[in-house]
Amino acid sequence: MEEKMKNWNALWNSVVQQVKMLLPTEIERNRMDRYFPLMHSPRLEENCYVIEVGEQIQVEMFAKLYSQLILESLQSCGQSVDEVKFIVSKDLSAQQQQPAKFQRTTPVTPQRGMPSTMPMHENYTFENFVKGPSNSFAHAAATAVAKGPGRTSYNPLFIYGGTGLGKTHLMEAIGHYVLDRHPEMSVCYITSETFLNEYVNALQNDAMHAFRERYRKVDLLLLDDVQFIAGKQQIQEEFFNTFNSLLGLRKQVVMTSDVAPKDLKGCEERLTGRFQQGMVVEIESPSYETRLAILKSKALAGQHLIPDDILKFIAENIRSHVRAIEGALNRVVTFVDLNHDIPLTLDIAQHLLKDSIEEEKTIKDLTVDEIMRTVALAYGVKMEDILSKERTQTLVTPRQVAMFLSCKLTTRSLQEIGRSFGKTHATVYHGAQTIQKRIDVESELQKTVENITSQLGRNPSELTK
């Protein structure tokens, strides 16, 4: 019986991870963090996966939002399930809102009190954050802020980077650190979406004064995903005011965003200017070594014995972001938990991660079109010129550079690349070879090609492979 519970537990954890990966936006993932703790006792009954909730309204809402995604996740874990059913449990109705037993990230509320704050993940701490070259600046700045909130020149601290790279983790780590040492301080963690909703509610209910007062009492404001505010003109004024009065009182503000302040579209300049007055740090995609270190740390934390070669395999193949890496590890862990008698081999891991690896390829793969456009821009010529038959040197070079980069940076065949250029595969081959020979002797050209490669978000070292 206990063994069975443990297996359900492992399966559920895997489902949670996978559903999270299937959700395309941060907002949907945040919503999931609020809803999934309301789901209980997930189990398989015949071919039906049953999940208990506390109220009928949750049955309808969760079925609409998550049934299909949960079903797909279960099937990809090799379970023969053809239905996901939410049912109301009497016990739960009585003691509504208890955190789910099987949730790995049991949320905790940082502080009861005036400013509304959202639950933080209890495991998003500095101890659980793996440092590496991709995040060392961000980590150092976050640590400094946590040690002396409002007392460093890092105010505001603005952390930006792609999705799933650890922004929320690092921001919440500051929150945990401060609350552990200064329980008297008022810490507010809130997503910009919720901040915006509260603002609109306050406006409609004539409660702006209370809204302002609430936020101005905060000692540490952790505002997640500020890119959400960017397009919303009407809130920027209020945000600017709240922001200024907090900074004026030497209260600490930390923000995250998926782009740098200057790239926040639809954001007033005085606001982005203000964001940059403190410290702006970027989190980049982790290197192979960091990915491996994260995997080792996560495996250790969960007490999973996964062979080194499997961890290396994951680190080599899943490169885009940490959330995807966690998802991959979780799949492997689920397999081990469910199949005690089958040793985990590289072959099995390869099979389990087939879909994720395919997906990585599509994320990483550039299109020939993107390459042509970037090359044209760098050389100050038009896209049509690159595609034309014109053979002047000012056009032949960019055209051949685009061919060269298409060969190096995409997985497309010479034929396919040829088709995109309206040329034969032999022409593409010849063009790419010409550039290869020229960059060996022309350092100017080499520089240009390397710059374009960086602009395309790729590492120039790939050109030498």
Write out the residues near ligand ADP by the rule CB under 6 A. 124, 128-130, 135, 163-169, 294, 322-323, 326
Of 299 and 336, the one with the shorter C-beta distance to ligand ADP is 299
Choosing among ligand ADP, Mg ion, none, which partner's interface includes residue 164 (Cβ < 5 to 8 Å by kind)? ligand ADP
Residue 227 found at the interface with Mg ion (CB under 5 A):
no
What span, in angstroms and rounded, lies between the C-alpha atoms of 305 and 285? 26
Choosing among ligand ADP, Mg ion, none, which partner's interface includes residue 130 (Cβ < 5 to 8 Å by kind)? ligand ADP
Query: Shortest Cβ distance from residue 357 to ligand ADP (Å)?
Result: 19
Piece in contact with Mg ion (CB under 5 A), picked from 141-149, 164-172, 233-241, 451-459: 164-172
Query: Shortest Cβ distance from residue 366 to ligand ADP (Å)?
Result: 23
Residue 192 found at the interface with Mg ion (CB under 5 A):
no
Pair 89, 53: CB distance under 8 Å: yes
Query: Shortest Cβ distance from residue 228 to Mg ion (Å)?
Result: 11
Of 124 and 335, the one with the shorter C-beta distance to ligand ADP is 124
Query: Shortest Cβ distance from residue 241 to ligand ADP (Å)?
Result: 26
Query: Shortest Cβ distance from residue 135 to ligand ADP (Å)?
Result: 6
Choosing among Mg ion, ligand ADP, none, which partner's interface includes residue 40 (Cβ < 5 to 8 Å by kind)? none
Of 58 and 168, the one with the shorter C-beta distance to ligand ADP is 168
Of 129 and 189, the one with the shorter C-beta distance to ligand ADP is 129
Query: Shortest Cβ distance from residue 330 to ligand ADP (Å)?
Result: 10
Residue type for position 84: V
Query: Shortest Cβ distance from residue 224 to Mg ion (Å)?
Result: 6
Of 167 and 298, the one with the shorter C-beta distance to Mg ion is 167
Of 157 and 407, the one with the shorter C-beta distance to ligand ADP is 157
Of 62 and 189, the one with the shorter C-beta distance to Mg ion is 189
Residue 117 found at the interface with Mg ion (CB under 5 A):
no
What span, in angstroms and rounded, lies between the C-alpha atoms of 221 and 175? 9
Piece in contact with Mg ion (CB under 5 A), picked from 49-57, 77-85, 166-174, 294-302: 166-174
Choosing among Mg ion, ligand ADP, none, which partner's interface includes residue 169 (Cβ < 5 to 8 Å by kind)? ligand ADP
Residue 400 found at the interface with Mg ion (CB under 5 A):
no
Of 135 and 242, the one with the shorter C-beta distance to ligand ADP is 135
How many beta carbons lie within 10 A of that of residue 140, not counting itself?
14
What span, in angstroms and rounded, lies between the C-alpha atoms of 193 and 157? 19
Look at phi and psi of residue 287 and say left if phi exceeds 0, alpha if psi is from -120 to 50, else beta.
Answer: beta
Of 246 and 322, the one with the shorter C-beta distance to ligand ADP is 322
Query: Shortest Cβ distance from residue 167 to ligand ADP (Å)?
Result: 3
Of 121 and 408, the one with the shorter C-beta distance to ligand ADP is 121
Choosing among ligand ADP, Mg ion, none, which partner's interface includes residue 89 (Cβ < 5 to 8 Å by kind)? none
Query: Shortest Cβ distance from residue 251 to ligand ADP (Å)?
Result: 23
Residue 168 found at the interface with Mg ion (CB under 5 A):
yes
Tell me the residue nearest to ligand ADP as measured from the CB.
166
Query: Shortest Cβ distance from residue 283 to Mg ion (Å)?
Result: 10
The full 3-state SS of the chain, as one line of letters, equals: CHHHHHHHHHHHHHHHHHHHHHCCCHHHHHHHHHHHHHCEEEEEECCEEEEEECCHHHHHHHHHHHHHHHHHHHHHCCCCCCEEEEEECHHHHHCCCCCCCCCCCCEECCCCCCCCCCCEECCCCCCCCCCCCCCHHHHHHHHHHHHCCCCCCCCCEEEECCCCCCHHHHHHHHHHHHHHHCCCCCEEEEEHHHHHHHHHHHHHCCCHHHHHHHHHCCCEEEEECCHHHHCCHHHHHHHHHHHHHHHHCCCEEEEEECCCHHHCCCCCHHHHHHHCCCEEEECCCCCHHHHHHHHHHHHHHCCCCCCHHHHHHHHHHCCCCHHHHHHHHHHHHHHHHHCCCCCCCHHHHHHHCHHHHHHHHHHHCCCHHHHHHHHHHHHCCCHHHHHCCCCCHHHHHHHHHHHHHHHHHCCCCHHHHHHHHCCCHHHHHHHHHHHHHHHHHCHHHHHHHHHHHHHCCCCHHHHHC
Q: Under the rule (CB under 5 A), what is the footprint of Mg ion?
A: 167-168
